[in-house]
Amino acid sequence: MDSATAQNLDHNGLPSEPLRQDDGPWRPIHYLGSKLRALPAIEEALQGVSDEASPVCDLFAGSGTVASWLSRSRPVTAVDIQEYSRIICDAMLNPSQVSLKVLEVKIAAAISSSRLTGVLRAARPLIELEEQLLEQSRLGDPSGLADLIEAGSFMTFRGRHENLLIAEAHSASKRLLSENDGLADVSTMVFRHFGGVYFSFEQAAKLDVLLDVVHSLVLEERRSPLAAILTTASDIVNTVGKQFAQPIRPRDKDGRVKRTLYSQVARDRFKDPVAVFFHSMEKYLGLPSHDFNHSAVRSDYLDFLRSGVFNRGVVYADPPYTRDHYSRFYHALETIALRDDPRISTNTAHGVTQPSRGVYRVERHQSPFCIRSKAPDAFEQMFAEIASAGLPLVLSYSPYSSEKDAHPRVMTVDAISDLAKGSFASVEVTSIGGFSHSRLNKAELHKEASSEAEFLFICRP
């Protein structure tokens, strides 16, 4: 935990005084392709094709930054196929009325109880081992920490390990979980699926406690705290690029433990989820309220358009740009949002089938916009549905740059423009300017961004 955060905590790890909120737009989760810096240009484009206060549908709402920005001056309907997005957008558009003091009391009591009989008690053997191996790593021997990280989560651990300490800790936690029927209980889901992989074992168990408390609230109070848990998970995740696409690899390709392992792990795994949660709560509760009826909907984009629910105003669409399947980057957030106990996908190599290293859900949404063979039809159908409803459209898209070593775009700007002209009477393409999107923060994974990072397609029926 950094010193600035620690100064605002009491002995229970709860806020002792308000944390300062930053001004301006806020990004609630780390998100690829965030539109934070494009918000004024998007708003100006929407004003050019619709009345200033007319409703807007944010069709691929993602992290909710666009929806939240537009909600200051328009009624907003935020739509996304992912539940984590719906929860975040709902909280940003319609902040809960909930007492932080009441939450503090509930969470402090829940943590104390969990240490005696709940997930924190069951996780204790792995928590203590991780603390021990972190200290050994800090003192210069990271091999045990590397072994623990490679052993994976409780769900993917194979039952045996050359490091007997790791095998014994997993066995002890399994025994403690079984005492309280916690081997398949949603109240231990984050610990079992993601502890040791994306979070420390203690962080994961505390996220479970937070979820227990928040789900005990009435629906009207639950909205912002649920979103704050997702923001917390995104903030404390210990991976490359703060995404959930790939866990840390503690060894290099030659099998040597990386010299930077301790600093890479310590950067995130010492953060207290409770402190981060309350900081996030102040962000959500500090969002302004407006006199508009906003809504957040979990739906496939095409199903929503065909429902006819949104029949006046303007549509803003920001579909995926690349062949990267976005659900892989946020699958843990989706599992936390759904609070289910999903089956884990498997990989087969050299005739051996094992659970996926990233603990991916079997059921993950694969957007047609990310698939080269399906993207043209997806765009064509979207354009046709919006145009047939008589609605204007503003579409964001990042251009394919053939002269650079860029992440390949599924479609080119010209191809999208041609498809749009098949449905709309007028299609104008304009560049927002040269900024680069959020990308993975590892040098060899970087692909150079185009100097024109974003285009807007302004389509009139």
Q: DSSP readout, 208-254?
A: HHHHHHHHTS-HHHHHHHHHHHHHHHHHH--BGGG-SSSB---B-TT
Burial of 460 (0-12, 13-18, 19+ CB in 10 A): middle
Residues 369-382, mean pLDDT to the nearest whole number: 92
- The bridge status of strand 346-349 relative to strand 352-355 is antiparallel
- CB of 294 within 8 A of CB of 24? no
> Distances from the Cα of 184 to the Cαs of 154, 177, 179, 213, 343, in angstroms?
12, 9, 12, 19, 11
Mean pLDDT of 35-50: 91
Please compute Rg for the chain using Cα positions: 23
Burial of residue 316, with CB atoms counted within 10 A of its CB: 0-12 exposed, 13-18 middle, 19 or more buried? buried
Q: Predicted confidence band at 136 (pLDDT cuts at 50, 70, 90)?
A: very high
* Mean pLDDT value across residues 51-74: 94
Contact between 60 and 319 (Cβ < 8 Å): yes
Q: Contacts by 211-219 with C-beta closer than 8 Å and gap 24+?
A: 211/187, 211/336, 211/339, 212/110, 212/187, 213/103, 213/106, 213/107, 213/110, 215/339, 216/106, 217/98
**pLDDT value at position 442?**
42
Give 338-348 pLDDT, tens digit per residue. Answer: 999 999 988 88
Residue 408 — pLDDT band, cuts 50, 70, 90? Answer: low
Measured at the CA of 256, the angle between CA 254 and CA 261, to 5 degrees, comes to 130
Per-residue confidence (pLDDT) for residue 37, from 0 to 100: 80
Percentage with pLDDT > 90 across the chain: 66
Measured distance CA(276)–CA(336) in Å, rounded: 16
Alpha helix (H) ranges present in 25-140? 39-49, 65-70, 83-93, 100-117, 119-138
Q: What percent of the chain has pLDDT over 70?
A: 87
pLDDT higher than threshold 60 for residue 21: no
Residue 315 near residue 56, CB atoms below 8 Å: yes
CA pair distance 64, 43, nearest whole angstrom: 14
Helix (H) or strand (E) holding 80: strand 76-80
Strand partners, 58: 78, 316
What are 230's two structure tokens?
A: 């997702």
Nearest Cα to Cα of residue 104 among 203, 201, 210: 210
The percent of the chain in helix, strand and coil, each rounded to the nearest 5, is: 45, 10, 40
The pTM assigned to this predicted structure is: 0.88
pLDDT number for residue 182: 72
**Range with lowest mean pLDDT among 160-169, 226-235, 282-291, 324-333:** 324-333
Strands (E) in 271-380, as ranges, are: 295-298, 314-317, 346-349, 352-355
Residue pair 214/229 in contact by the 8 Å Cβ criterion: yes
Counts for the chain of helices (H) and strands (E), in that order: 17, 9
Q: Which of 38-42, 97-101, 149-153, 448-452 has the lowest mean pLDDT?
A: 448-452
Residues 145 and 142: their CA atoms lie apart, in Å, by 5
**pLDDT averaged over the chain?**
87
Residue 441: the pLDDT is 42
Amino acid 18: pLDDT? 33
| Residues 454 and 40: beta-carbon distance below 8 Å | no
List the structure tokens of 67: 């929806």
